[in-house]
Amino acid sequence: MPTEPSRELETFENPHPDRDYEIRFEIPEFTCLCPKTGQPDFATLHIRYVPDRRCVELKSLKLYMWSFREVGTFHEAVTNQILDDLVKALHPRKMVVQSDFYVRGGIRTVVEAKYES
Protein backbone atom coordinates (compact mmCIF):
# COMPACT_ATOMS: atom_id res chain seq x y z
CA MET A 1 0.00 0.00 0.00
CA PRO A 2 1.46 3.33 -1.07
CA THR A 3 2.71 5.70 1.59
CA GLU A 4 1.95 9.45 1.48
CA PRO A 5 3.83 12.61 2.30
CA SER A 6 3.56 13.42 5.99
CA ARG A 7 4.62 16.21 8.29
CA GLU A 8 4.84 13.69 11.22
CA LEU A 9 8.40 12.85 12.29
CA GLU A 10 8.59 9.47 14.01
CA THR A 11 11.33 8.87 16.54
CA PHE A 12 12.86 5.92 18.35
CA GLU A 13 14.76 5.65 21.61
CA ASN A 14 18.45 6.61 21.37
CA PRO A 15 20.36 3.32 21.91
CA HIS A 16 23.33 5.14 23.54
CA PRO A 17 21.98 8.22 25.37
CA ASP A 18 25.01 8.23 27.70
CA ARG A 19 27.36 9.21 24.86
CA ASP A 20 27.51 12.32 22.66
CA TYR A 21 27.65 10.97 19.13
CA GLU A 22 26.70 12.43 15.78
CA ILE A 23 24.23 11.28 13.10
CA ARG A 24 24.43 12.81 9.62
CA PHE A 25 22.00 12.62 6.69
CA GLU A 26 22.56 13.62 3.07
CA ILE A 27 19.26 14.02 1.20
CA PRO A 28 19.67 14.93 -2.49
CA GLU A 29 15.94 14.59 -3.22
CA PHE A 30 14.42 17.76 -1.74
CA THR A 31 12.06 19.88 -3.83
CA CYS A 32 9.61 22.67 -2.99
CA LEU A 33 8.04 25.57 -4.91
CA CYS A 34 9.10 29.19 -5.31
CA PRO A 35 6.45 31.27 -3.44
CA LYS A 36 6.71 34.07 -6.02
CA THR A 37 6.51 32.18 -9.31
CA GLY A 38 5.17 28.76 -8.25
CA GLN A 39 8.06 27.11 -10.11
CA PRO A 40 9.89 24.13 -8.56
CA ASP A 41 13.12 24.60 -6.60
CA PHE A 42 15.57 21.74 -5.91
CA ALA A 43 18.05 21.29 -3.08
CA THR A 44 20.32 18.77 -1.41
CA LEU A 45 19.79 18.79 2.35
CA HIS A 46 22.54 18.00 4.86
CA ILE A 47 21.38 17.36 8.42
CA ARG A 48 23.56 16.44 11.38
CA TYR A 49 22.67 16.17 15.04
CA VAL A 50 23.74 14.82 18.43
CA PRO A 51 20.72 12.88 19.75
CA ASP A 52 19.54 13.16 23.34
CA ARG A 53 16.72 10.69 24.13
CA ARG A 54 15.23 10.24 20.65
CA CYS A 55 16.58 9.54 17.16
CA VAL A 56 14.60 10.31 13.99
CA GLU A 57 13.28 7.30 12.10
CA LEU A 58 14.63 7.21 8.52
CA LYS A 59 11.39 6.46 6.66
CA SER A 60 9.41 9.19 8.42
CA LEU A 61 12.25 11.60 7.60
CA LYS A 62 11.84 10.68 3.94
CA LEU A 63 8.07 11.28 4.06
CA TYR A 64 8.61 14.57 5.90
CA MET A 65 10.95 15.77 3.14
CA TRP A 66 8.37 14.70 0.55
CA SER A 67 5.73 16.84 2.31
CA PHE A 68 7.36 20.05 0.99
CA ARG A 69 6.81 19.04 -2.65
CA GLU A 70 3.76 21.29 -3.13
CA VAL A 71 4.70 23.96 -0.60
CA GLY A 72 5.69 27.48 -1.69
CA THR A 73 8.51 28.68 0.56
CA PHE A 74 11.70 30.79 0.43
CA HIS A 75 15.15 29.20 0.82
CA GLU A 76 15.81 31.00 4.11
CA ALA A 77 12.39 30.16 5.59
CA VAL A 78 12.26 26.46 4.73
CA THR A 79 15.74 25.78 6.11
CA ASN A 80 14.83 27.32 9.44
CA GLN A 81 11.48 25.54 9.49
CA ILE A 82 13.06 22.13 8.96
CA LEU A 83 15.44 22.86 11.83
CA ASP A 84 12.53 23.96 14.04
CA ASP A 85 10.46 20.86 13.21
CA LEU A 86 13.36 18.47 13.86
CA VAL A 87 14.31 20.21 17.11
CA LYS A 88 10.70 20.04 18.30
CA ALA A 89 10.43 16.32 17.51
CA LEU A 90 13.87 15.22 18.78
CA HIS A 91 15.08 17.72 21.39
CA PRO A 92 18.63 17.00 20.20
CA ARG A 93 21.74 18.19 22.04
CA LYS A 94 22.93 19.91 18.84
CA MET A 95 21.66 20.10 15.26
CA VAL A 96 22.69 21.68 11.94
CA VAL A 97 20.49 21.88 8.82
CA GLN A 98 22.08 22.96 5.55
CA SER A 99 20.18 23.32 2.26
CA ASP A 100 22.14 23.59 -0.97
CA PHE A 101 19.80 24.97 -3.66
CA TYR A 102 20.34 24.55 -7.38
CA VAL A 103 21.23 27.61 -9.53
CA ARG A 104 18.58 30.38 -9.98
CA GLY A 105 19.43 33.58 -11.89
CA GLY A 106 23.03 32.43 -12.25
CA ILE A 107 23.39 32.13 -8.45
CA ARG A 108 23.69 29.00 -6.29
CA THR A 109 22.37 29.50 -2.73
CA VAL A 110 23.23 27.62 0.47
CA VAL A 111 21.47 28.28 3.81
CA GLU A 112 22.78 26.82 7.07
CA ALA A 113 21.07 27.04 10.46
CA LYS A 114 22.24 25.64 13.80
CA TYR A 115 20.63 24.70 17.12
CA GLU A 116 22.38 24.05 20.40
CA SER A 117 20.45 23.02 23.55
Q: How far apart are CA 76 and CA 39, in angstroms?
A: 17
7 binds a copy of itself (CB under 8 A): no
Q: Active-site residue numbers?
A: 34, 41
2 binds a copy of itself (CB under 8 A): yes
- Identify residue 69 by its one-letter amino acid code: R
24 binds a copy of itself (CB under 8 A): yes
- Identify residue 4 by its one-letter amino acid code: E
Q: How far apart are CA 25 and CA 23, in angstroms?
A: 7
CA angle 9, 86, 74 (to 5 degrees): 105
Task: Tell me which of 27, 52, 85, 94 binds a copy of itself, using CB under 8 A.
Answer: 27
Q: How many residues bind a copy of itself (CB under 8 A)?
A: 52
Give the x-and-dash track for 72-111 against a copy of itself (CB under 8 A).
--xxxx-xx---------------------xxxxxxxxxx
Query: Which sign, positive or negative, has the C-alpha torsion 61, 64, 69, 72?
Result: negative
Min. distance of Cβ 115 from a copy of itself in angstroms? 8
Helix (H) or strand (E) holding 80: helix 75-90
Q: Using CB under 8 A, list all residues that contact a copy of itself.
A: 2-4, 14-16, 19-29, 31, 36-40, 42, 51, 55, 58-59, 61-62, 65-66, 69, 74-77, 79-80, 102-114
